[in-house]
Amino acid sequence: MISQLIEKIQKTKAPVCVGLDPMLSYIPEHITKKALNDHGETLEGAAEAVWQFNKEIIDHTYDLIPAVKPQIAMYEQFGIEGLSVYKRTVDYCRQKGLIVIGDVKRGDIGSTSAAYATGHLGHVQVGSRALSGLGADFMTVNPYFGTDGVKPFVDVCNQEDKGLFVLVKTSNPSSGEFQDKLIDGRPLYELVAEKVVEWGNASMDGDYSNVGAVVGATYPEMSRILRKLMPKTYFLVPGYGAQGGTAEDLKPCFNQDGLGAIVNSSRGIIAAYKQEKYAAFGAEHFGEASRQAVADMVADINRVL
């Protein structure tokens, strides 16, 4: 699966993914108004607004990018109706040829992780049929349970040619509270990184492993060390743009070959029309604002590579 992602990154010359993390506050009024008029002030109405918003952004950006990363929390907040739109978004993106990274950060004991892996990436056996649940290409995984909590995800990846990004160093301000704590003189995130390499060794797919890592853009000095520790691990890099990470901060996430990282931007793309820079598009043309924001992001990142 990682080789497919790399191929798409090379084809689009865009090591970026668009975070489809729709808050109602990002959605232009004309869309929300219509959805709530049609469906009432209900979860169904909110979910319909999210879907119309997503579709417009996908339609305006899919040819520029290799991948999208829907954040499932933004759908879960609207209950089953929201989750149905998560699934609809995943399916639509895949139809458009995009790689879908389900940003779900699941993780549990072995048998439970196996169920998550099945639901998000694999197939569940029902009678004589093997059925797909949520059907993403990659998912993000939380490593707190250790090897037996992560291994079932790796197993499903190996069976189904799918991929993971395991949390190593996250982009948020408190990430250091546990992740940076020193163990025998080295931060916890380095230990996690070594485990990610170990977990991914039997999942090579070309030059990189299907088991990747989440490494926040907001800590470039740590990215440099992690890049060396995990030479064959692809990085999913959140934190660019709205969270404060700059293109220069991203550089250490990449290898000499210009590969090794895919940078996510959510708010900076999907709510671009709300920025002064793109205000001229107007809320009615928010999809075009997002398209321009993608083009600008790609240029910004390629400038430093």
Active site residues: 105
Question: Shortest CA distance to 142 belongs to which of 105, 98, 196?
Answer: 105
- Smallest separation (angstroms) from a second copy to the CB of 271: 12
How far, rounded to the nearest angstrom, does the alpha carbon of residue 141 sit from its chain's CA centroid? 11
Amino acid of residue 253 = C
State CA 60 to chain mean position distance: 19
| φ/ψ of residue 5, rounded to 5 | -65, -45
Least distance from a second copy to the Cβ atom of residue 220, Å: 18
Work out how close the CB of 126 gets to a second copy at its nearest, in angstroms, rounded to a whole number: 5
Output the smallest distance, CB 256 to a second copy, in A. Answer: 30
CA angle centred on 99, ends 86 and 209, rounded to 5°? 120
Q: Which residues contact 256 (CB under 8 A, 6 or more apart)?
A: none
Query: Measured from the CB atom, is 45 or 268 closer to a second copy?
Result: 45
Q: Which is nearer to a second copy, 15 or 82 (CB)?
A: 82
Provide φ and ψ at 207, rounded to 5°. Answer: -80, -15
CA–CA distances in Å: residue 50 to residues 56, 122, 285: 10, 26, 16
Whichever of 130 and 295 has its CB closer to a second copy, that residue is 130
CB of 27 to a second copy, least distance (A): 11
Select 71 or 292, whichever has its Cβ closest to a second copy.
71
Structure tokens belonging to residue 112: 């439970």
Closer CB to a second copy, 63 or 198, in the complex: 198
- Tell me the C-alpha distance between 305 and 303, whole Å: 6
